[in-house]
Amino acid sequence: MSTHPRVRFLDRTTPPHVITLVALAGLPALTINIFLPSLPNMAVHFDTDYAVMQLSVATYLAANAVMQLFVGPISDRYGRRPVLLISTVLFLLATLGCIFAPSAEAFLGFRMAQAVVVTAMVLSRAVVRDMVADTQAASMIGYVTMGMALVPMIGPSIGGVLDEIWGWQATFLALLLAGLGVLALTWADLGETSTPRDVSLMDQFRQYPELFRSRRFWGYAMTAALSSGAFFAYLGGAPFVGSHVFALSPSVLGLYFGIVAVGYMTGNFISGRYSVRVGINGMIYWGALITLAAPLLSMAFFAAGATQPIAFFGAMALLGVGNGMVLPNAIAGTLSVRPHLAGTASGLGGAIMIGGGAAFSALAGALLKPGTGAWPLLLIMATTSALAMVAVLYVRWVDRRAGPILAMPHKDGA
């Protein structure tokens, strides 16, 4: 299928090496979580409430969701390389703004602007699709995703150590240096893989009603949004729980954050090994059950009088496993509902998932106060996980009425 020349590393006349693609996909993941152990100290620095600083997670995710709707068509129009280079430069400017922000409000504005880095995640996958045939793309994306999954394991740990030694600004300086490295690597290694074409945003938006009418699309999209909502609520609330409930230092809190990432990689491995055998609906069902088990198990520990951090963070390993099983399969489901609209479904489904995550993250930050313990966060996670189970059961009900998605042409609304 591909007519591109053979890949040569650090040769921008050829398609990019997988190392470059992993770096592009990893930078947005690092941007989400490297500074999380610093949130309590940042609230003190800016003399504001934790809930205000926690908005740096929610506003970032909200801007991230909106940008996902536009990145694909813009890169179709102008090419992958220039969009990636320009967006990385804008990310660097926003990161400098975060470092020197004079107030919490200014910081939140620059933090929202950092969301432009989502371009790197979205287009790293698009580049893979440009480069290789469909049969090879899944394998190559697997390497890119595995590299991206490693970043959340080490990001908070690095951020916590940097905070303790040099202060919270050091975590954003690390992001600045990482962004400069990705910019240099992209400039030197990423040749254009797409032929720019005249595709308007309106042409893509006109395809949305067909997806809006699909019950399966909404079932899969809401399953992904609600299941990942538990994870994003955790991202928004866990720094408060670690610092106020367990009095953990930023470096120790960063280590505990890695537990979820290990669980997520485990869930990804299970998905890769068993999704074909079990089917995407079966994997989503069991993954949603495991996700729901995480907050329920932690609640049981606290109700029994547990006071150790592992009662909260240890149970969250199940959250990672469940999300690692649900998300790849639910996303595959959204893309399979209308194969001719896979790109549109990817952008819309991603926006729904990340937008929902922003809302749950903000809710967790608003409800967690000194004296509440971890209970508000656990209740949010249990509720959104239970609703994800409802969405899974809805998709299974549609399958029973309309037939499996690959077994027959889709019916209206199915």
pLDDT digits (tens, 9 = 90+) for 203-229: 766 777 888 888 999 999 999 999 989
Total-model pTM: 0.75
pLDDT band at 310 (very low <50, low <70, confident <90, very high): very high
Mean pLDDT for the stretch of residues 255-273: 83
Between residues 99 and 52, the one the model is more confident about: 99
pLDDT of amino acid 3: 47
pLDDT of 141 > 80? The answer is: no
Closest CA to 76 of 187, 206, 186, 200: 200
Q: pLDDT digit string (tens) for 338-389?
A: 766 666 677 788 788 888 887 888 888 788 888 888 999 999 999 999 999 9
CA distance 414 to 410: 6
Q: Give me the mean pLDDT over the 36-65 stretch.
A: 88
Would you identify the CATH topology of the domain 207-404?
A: Growth Hormone; Chain: A; (1.20.1250)
**Residue 408 token pair:** 């027959």
Domain boundaries for CATH 1.20.1250.20 within the chain? 1-205, 207-404
Residue 142 CB neighbour total at 10 angstroms: 13
Nearest Cα residue to 281 out of 399, 147, 144: 399
Tokens at 232, concatenated: 């994003």
Cβ proximity of 290 and 321 under 8 Å: yes
Burial code (b: 16+ CB inside 10 Å, e: under 16) for 326-358 equals: bbbbbbbbbbbbbeebebbbbbbbbbbbbbbbb
Q: Which of the two residues, 89 and 254, has the higher pLDDT score? A: 89
Q: What fold, for 1-205?
A: Growth Hormone; Chain: A; (1.20.1250)
Q: Positive or negative, the Cα torsion across 145, 147, 153, 155?
A: negative
Residue 94 above 60 pLDDT? yes
Look at residue 314 and tell me whether its pLDDT is greater than 80: yes
* Range with lowest mean pLDDT among 191-205, 257-271, 374-388: 191-205
Residue 133 reports pLDDT greater than 70:
no
142, two tokens? 């697997």
Separation of alpha carbons 274 and 290, rounded Å: 16
Range scoring the smallest mean pLDDT among 7-21, 36-50, 219-233, 332-346? 332-346
Residue 42 has pLDDT above 90, yes or no: yes
Q: What is the dihedral of CA 310, 251, 19, 133, to 10 degrees?
A: 30
pLDDT at 10 over 50: yes
Q: Are 171 and 38 in contact (CB under 8 A)?
A: yes
With 0-12 CB in 10 A as exposed, 13-18 as middle and 19+ as buried, what is 3? Answer: exposed
